[in-house]
Structure 1
Amino acid sequence: MTTCSCLTRRRALGLAAFTVLLAACGDKPGEAQSLAPVEIDRSTSCELDGMLLSDYPGPKAQIHYAGQDKPAFFCDTVELFNTLLAGEQVRPVRAVYVQDMGQASWDEPKGHWIDAKAAVYVLGSKRHGSMGPTIASFAQEADATRFAGEYGGKVLRFADIKLDMVDLSGGALHDTRM
């Protein structure tokens, strides 16, 4: 088997696993309330690196996993998508939220949580989040289009974002020695 076909197969398996995880989002009685987005505070830290979310600009995200009382928070939407799209993701996902940057302040985002699967995104803008280049999230396509017109980037839907667009291997400085 060639390296190319192995990578293609791995991506296909990762996408299939992600699809199954999102499809497993059937509500159990009394569970809907725990799926509501949770607001961040001064002590809310990122699932991946422990960074305090309130210390950094740009959109934040949260995943509600089945069997877990509190959501996993992410200080950046790139980290969120990398987590969701990586083939290693095996925990069943109940809900995913991002912030509507058409409503929230970029420099100090608070509130304005929206369903990540229904959001519209801008990839490749000049605006940076906590880890450098980020993916801006919006509830309204008009807001995303306006943002892309001002800061550059491409307007995408949730399903359009692929693993190769959210590489975390080099961190904020793209230092591949991490």
Structure 2
Amino acid sequence: MKIPPLLAHTAVLLIVATLLAACGNQADTGVAPVEIAQDSSCALDGMLLADYPGPKAQIHYDGTPEPEFFCDTMEMFSLYLKPEQARKVKAIYVQDLDKTTWEAPKGAWIDAKAAFYVVGSKKRGAMGPTIPSFGTREGAQKFTESNGGKVYPFAQVTADMARLDGGALHDQRM
């Protein structure tokens, strides 16, 4: 039995599209974001996440049932981009400021690798300077109009942009 060329071509395209989608979509790992509870604390400094403004982040590592939370995206990037970071990351989520508020962010978790970030804004997060996260480039660009900074996709955020010496290392409240 001979398969018509159009049908064979369509089948191949569907298979390739499915495989490409699985490779590029972190949500396909089967790891869902975890909501912040009143007692959720930051992996780096133990601060209670719900007590502070600005977008939060979470990293899910292979072999670890619970994610590590971060009280801001600057801390997440600082850890994730360190050369000595060797643990296998299954998923990273950040809060989408297109869909939640700065003052009291709730839910709105998105794949960190698909988000857009504002580096160098005047807005401060839990530990001082932070890197606000948005689900759309347009949302990030609109944020820069009133808060300054420059928009970058995840892959273009560097370790130098995520230095903690302007925030956590000089926080007088701790």
Q: Which amino acid aligns with 1:134?
A: T
How do 1:74-153 and structure 2 match up within 5 A? 74-153=70-149
| Partners of 2:129 and 2:166 within 8 A in 1 | no
Q: Which amino acid aligns with 2:143?
A: F
SS in 2 for 1:148: helix
The one-character-per-residue Cα deviations of 1:91-113 (angstroms, maximum 9, x if unpaired) are 10000000001111101111000
Across the aligned residues of Structure 1 and Structure 2, the Cα RMSD in angstroms comes to 2.1
Q: Which runs of 5+ in 1 are unaligned?
A: 1-22
TM-score between both structures, scaled by the size of structure 1: 0.78
| Partners of 1:56 and 1:108 within 8 A in 2 | yes
| Structure 1 stretches of 4+ moved >6 Å | none
| Partners of 2:117 and 2:151 within 8 A in 1 | yes
Q: Which has the larger radius of gyration?
A: 2
Return the offset for 1:174: 3.9
Q: Which residue of 1 aligns with 2:6?
A: none
Q: Which residue of 2 aligns with 1:65?
A: 61
Aligned length: 148
How do 1:47-62 and structure 2 match up within 5 A? 47-62=43-58
The one-character-per-residue Cα deviations of 1:27-47 (angstroms, maximum 9, x if unpaired) are 7xxx71xx1000001100000
Q: Which residue of 2 aligns with 1:45?
A: 41
Q: Which is richer in helix?
A: 2
